[in-house]
Amino acid sequence: MDDSQRLRYSRHLLLDEWSEDAQERLLASHALVIGAGGLGAPALMYLASAGVGRITVVDHDTVDLTNLQRQIAHTTDRVGLPKADSARQALAQLNPGVQVHALAQAADESLLRTWVPKADVVLDCTDRFDIRHLINRVCRESGVPLVSAAALRFDGQISVYDPRQPQSPCYACLFPPDAPPEEARCALLGVFAPLVGMMGVVQAGEAIKLLAGLDASAGQVPLTGRLLMVDGRSWQVTALSVRRDPACPVCAGRP
C-alpha cells in the first residue's frame, strides 16, 4: 500500500478494529456483484470506495429513466447504456485504483459456474426468485460466501450465507425453492428508494467485513445465521436467528 492509498483509506485505518493488513486484504480481494440496480448500485459504490481491489459486475439490463429514482450509480446521460458498463464508468470516476470487469449479460448457470469460484464473496442484488436460488446453489457448491438482500415497497431483508461456516444455513433453508412467492418486482409494486439504498449499503458492509477479515475477534457480529428485516415505514429493525434445514434440497448432508 502506497502513501496515496494510505491517505485515501485513512478513515478506515483510523478504526481500532482495522489495520493495514485488513486494508491489504481488501485491496487483494475480488467481489462478484450480480445486479447493478437498486441494490447493486449503492453496494458497488461502497465496495469501490472502500478499496475492494477487483469487482466484477453482472447485469444484462440497460439504464432506464425509471431506474434513476434509486439506482445511484447511473446518471441521466447514461440512459440506454448497459447497466454493467454504466456502473463501470461510475466506479472508475470514484476510485480509479479498482479493477472493474463489466459483464453485460444474464447471470445464467454457465456464467455463474465460471465466475463464482473466482470470487472471494458474491453479492446477490437480483430480484428474481429462480436466479436467487441458482446463485445460492453455485455459491454453496463453490464454497464462496453469499450476501443476499431484497427490498420491495417499504420492506427489506438481508442475510449472509457462508458455506465455510458449518452452522450457516443457505438461502434455500429459509426460502424453499419449491415454494416461490407471487410475482413481486418493484417495476410492478414500487419500492421506497432510501430503503433499497440502505439494503445495498448493508450488503456492501457485510461483504467488506468478510473480505477484510473482520470477525468476532474484532468485535464484529456478522449476519451469518441471522436474517435482518427492515420496515421502512417506521425504521423498525428485526433480527431473526436462522438455522440450517436438515431437509434442505441444497445443503443437507453437505459439510
Active site residues: 186
CA distances (Å), 67 to each of 70, 112, 181, in order? 6, 25, 24
Report how far residue 217's alpha carbon sits from residue 146's, in angstroms, rounded to the nearest whole number. Answer: 21
Q: How many CA atoms lie within 13 A of 201 on its CB side?
A: 8
Report how far residue 213's alpha carbon sits from residue 76's, in angstroms, rounded to the nearest whole number. Answer: 37
Report how far residue 91's alpha carbon sits from residue 83's, in angstroms, rounded to the nearest whole number. Answer: 12
Give the CA angle between residues 126, 40, 160 to the nearest 5°: 70
Name the grid cell of 175.
426460502
Q: CB–CB of 39/87 below 8 Å? A: no
3-state percent helix, strand, coil for the chain, nearest multiple of 5: 40, 20, 40
Distance from CA of residue 106 to its chain's centroid? 17
Name the grid cell of 136.
445460492
